[in-house]
Structures are given as C-alpha cells and as structure tokens.
Structure 1
Amino acid sequence: MCAHVLVAEDDEKQADVLRRYLLAEGHTVVLASDGRAAIDYVRAHRPDLLVLDVMMPGVDGMDVCRILRRESDVLVLMLTARTSEDDLLLGLDLGADDYMTKPYSPRELTTRVRTLLRRVRQETVVADDEQVLCVGPLLVDPARHEVTMAGRAIDCTPGEFRVITAMAKRPGRVFTRPQLLGHARGDDSYVTERTIDVHISNLRKKIEPDPQRPAHLVTVFGVGYKLVSGDA
C-alpha cells in the first residue's frame, strides 16, 4: 500500500525522522519546510497524503488546509503541539482527515498513515452497479464521490462524505454520535464525538436552505441525527 507522501514540517530533524519511517513503509516521501511550498507542491504533483505541521512560518498549517480543501481532496494528517479540543475541532472543520498532537510516536504516525490510506482505498473499490442514493432532493453517488442538492453540486470533505453516505443509505434512521463517528473517522481514531457535530453543522450549511432550521439533517434530541427528505 505504497503512497506518494508530502511531509510539511519546518523542524528539519523531525522531518527527517518522519521521512525515514515513511520510506521504511515503502512510501515515496517529499519534504516541504513551509506552508507556501506545501501548497505549491500539492497543486503541481497531487500527492496521496499530506502530513502537515500546524506551526510553520509564513502560511501556517491551518491556512494550508483551508486553501487546499477548496481545490484538492488530498488526505491531510495534521500535527500540532496544541492540545485543546477547540484546536482539534478547528483542524477537522477545515477538512483534516486525522490529527495528532506532539509529542507523538513515529510508529504511531505510520500506523495512522496506513489506516487512512487503507480506508480511502477500500471506499474507492465500489461495485460498478452501486446505486445512487436518493433522499428527497439530495443525491449521493458513492461511485463518483459526488453529492448534489436539488441539482446543485455540494463539495464535501472526506469525513463529511462518509457521514452523509452512511445516513443516505438508511434515510429516516436515527444515528447516534458514536455510530456516525465509526463511519466518519474509524474506531481507531483518537477524536471526540463532538467531531460529528462539526460535520453535521458543516453539512447543514451546504445542503439546508436555512441551516438554523434544518429540514433534512434533523437533530433527535438526546439521541443523535437522522437524514430525511424534508417533504413533511
């Protein structure tokens, strides 16, 4: 499961450690020492995965993620010395696929990389006859990784797409946060259930006419969320 990995880390020693561990896993590894270089490289070479340090000179990791998510679906694993839950949720809100706090074990990082790549590749192995999921005006096409609302294309992060796909497969079913977390992040990711609230909030902004009064992604108080057609 070899991949083309870009490591954006301004600490040369730390970057070299990551490079050696990832090379040992069979990946192709390129280093970038600042945010601008990372953006330029992703645009030019389209790597499979970006290991992104948050604290970098010039353009920091949060801004790098914000910019790239507008134009790329590259996997993003964020690294940061910040440990607050708000920082974690901000990274996920910007579209990061996973998040690790420093100090971390390089072996754990390579395991996270392996898990991310395996999960995405499993999701892309879709049967040719897999049907488009339809919930009222919302269409989810797992084979093409596309979402439309009333004919309008909706851009989703990988985590958001996994959430909306899981719910579209069972319209009307109430999903708890732990259930959606399993779909969105995988049971092995060290994140909180508030991650799901972030994904739901972002999806509502994208598909609801009035996100403050959702008609499709509905809260079931004390339980979780469900996806409905909105016809009622």
Structure 2
Amino acid sequence: MTDAAEGHGAFTVLIVEDDNAVKSLIATALKVQGYRLLEAGTGGAALLEATTKNPDVIILDLGLPDADGIDLIRQVRTWSHTPIIVVSARTEDADKVAALDAGADDYLIKPFSVEELLARLRVATRRLAADSGTDRDGPVYENGDLRIDYAARTVTLAGEEVHLTPIEYKLLALLARNTGKVLTHNAILKEVWGNALASDLPSLRVFMATLRKKIERDPAHPAYLQTHVGIGYRMLRK
C-alpha cells in the first residue's frame, strides 16, 4: 500500500487489472490525487485483497485471466457493499447491464480518459462520505434542495411540497437510497413493479419523465435524475 498524499488519502482503492500498462496508468493518476492503492492482476488475488484489506472502492476489469469479472462482482456482493467501478473493453449494453445487475456501481469503457475515471471515482467517494456515520435508510433524506421524509412519505423541493403518485414516490425513494449508483432498468422494475418484464419498460420511462418534471427545475438538463441510455438511471449527489 502506498502512503497517501493529502486530499483523498482517507480512501483506499483496489485496482483489479491484468494489463500492466492500464494498471500503471490508473495507479499513477490515483497516486497524484492522494488515494491509497492496492493492486491485483487476477480474480483470486482480488478476492484476497478485498477480504483482507477491505478497500473503500474497487476498480475492476472484467477480462481477468482466471475469472470473469461479473462473477467476481457477484462474489463480492455476497458480503460487501463496497462501490465497484467497472473499467472494461466490452462495449455492448448487455455487458453493462449484466455488470450493473450483478452489483457494480458504475461502468467505464476502455479506452477512457483519466479525467472521466477520476470523476466516476469522486462520485463513489462522495457516496461513501455521505453514508459515513449515517443510516442510509434513516427517516429523512437530504440532497441539495431535495428532501424526502420516509416516515411521512413526503417530498419537498426548496421547502415546497412536491405531490407524487405512489409509483413516482417509490422510484424516487429507490434512487435516493442508492445515490451515486447506476440502477438498471431491470433492477428498478423488480423493486418497483415486482418483476422485470420488458413490457413494463415503457411505463418506467413515462413515470421517470413525469417524476423529472416535478423535481427538476430544468427537466432537459436534470440536476438529480441522470439517464444512462439503454442502461438505467442514477440519482446524482448535489
């Protein structure tokens, strides 16, 4: 583990990548930002590091020599909620959905810019900081001007009550409880509708559109509800 510089030193990142050039690029960028680092080049080594060193965030390549990264995500999710950012050359939406459904928090396609990777990492660490010392499922959620009182099932924006339908409220509460995490269409449908039927996807899109109109000051440029085309949605941390 490297000594941390000032800044992000409170966070330890496990880089799981078998391409030494890519691993070195990521490691160098993170060191400059002050993150503490752990490294692994195989699935077996990654599991050992994750279980014994308890990293704050995992950056994971899917194409490992001894394991499929999606299987690794599933294994980690049996005992940990550590944010997982996938960095992969797999570009198909089906691969992204599979990784996110398995429990990944974000998905970045190779080749990627260092700036974009750092931005995704900041999202993950902000989520960790926001959750630290708090009950994520506590009675009140606050994010910028948005406030959700789970006990009263009420939503306010800048102090003004927002009237939501039951499904709109369920959608908003689900995304809020997973702030910073990309939730796939399938994951949302299972939680809100109780199934993941493709026939329900148009309904999800309609409800998300109406929800966005109610809580976004400019629905065309959303500040809270981010769309990942073909994948799902994410609540942004303000």
Q: Report the equivalent of 2:167.
A: 174
Pairwise mapping of residues 36-75 of structure 1 onto structure 2 (< 5 A)? Answer: 36-75=44-83
**Cα 1:221–1:199, aligned 2, differ >3 Å: closer, same or farther?**
closer
Q: Does the Cα contact within 8 Å between 2:127 and 2:179 map onto a contact in 1?
A: no
Q: Does the Cα contact within 8 Å between 1:175 and 1:223 map onto a contact in 2?
A: no
Shift of 1:127: 7.8
Q: Does the Cα contact within 8 Å between 1:62 and 1:94 map onto a contact in 2?
A: yes
Unaligned runs of 5+ in 2: 1-7, 142-148, 155-163, 209-238
Shift of 1:37: 0.6
Q: Does the Cα contact within 8 Å between 2:189 and 2:204 map onto a contact in 1?
A: no
Q: Does the Cα contact within 8 Å between 1:51 and 1:77 map onto a contact in 2?
A: yes
Match for 1:33 among 41, 64, 68? Answer: 41
Q: How many residues align?
A: 178
State the Cα deviation string for residues 101-160 of structure 1 (Å, max 9, x = none): 1110112101110121112311335389x53x8xxxxxxxx8xxxxxxxxxxxxxxxxxx
Secondary structure, counterpart of 2:185 in structure 1: helix
Q: Does the Cα contact within 8 Å between 1:8 and 1:38 map onto a contact in 2?
A: yes
Secondary structure, counterpart of 1:64 in structure 2: helix
Match for 1:198 among 186, 190, 194? Answer: 186
Secondary structure, counterpart of 2:166 in structure 1: coil
Q: Does the Cα contact within 8 Å between 1:181 and 1:196 map onto a contact in 2?
A: no
Matched, 1:110 2:115: no
Secondary structure, counterpart of 2:112 in structure 1: coil
Identity of matched residues, %: 27
Specify the code of the residue in structure 2 equivalent to 1:103: P
- Once superposed, what is the RMSD of the aligned Cα atoms? 3.7
Specify the code of the residue in structure 1 equivalent to 2:132: T
Q: Residues of 1 paired with 2:135 and 2:76: CA distance?
A: 29
Q: Report the equivalent of 1:223.
A: 206
Q: Report the equivalent of 1:84.
A: 92
Matched, 1:7 2:26: no
Q: Report the equivalent of 1:119.
A: 127
Secondary structure, counterpart of 1:21 in structure 2: helix
Q: Report the equivalent of 2:228.
A: none
Specify the code of the residue in structure 1 equivalent to 2:84: V
Shift of 1:42: 0.4
Q: Does the Cα contact within 8 Å between 1:174 and 1:220 map onto a contact in 2?
A: no
Shift of 1:59: 1.2
Secondary structure, counterpart of 1:175 in structure 2: helix
Unaligned runs of 5+ in 1: 134-141, 143-164, 214-218, 226-232
Q: Does the Cα contact within 8 Å between 1:167 and 1:173 map onto a contact in 2?
A: no
State the Cα deviation string for residues 162-201 of structure 1 (Å, max 9, x = none): xxx9899459533299967964464xx8x7xxx4422224
Q: Does the Cα contact within 8 Å between 2:167 and 2:192 map onto a contact in 1?
A: no
State the Cα deviation string for residues 18-66 of structure 1 (Å, max 9, x = none): 0010011110011100111101110111100000000111112111101
| TM-score, with structure 2 as normaliser | 0.62
Q: Report the equivalent of 2:30.
A: 22
**Cα 1:75–1:223, aligned 2, differ >3 Å: closer, same or farther?**
same
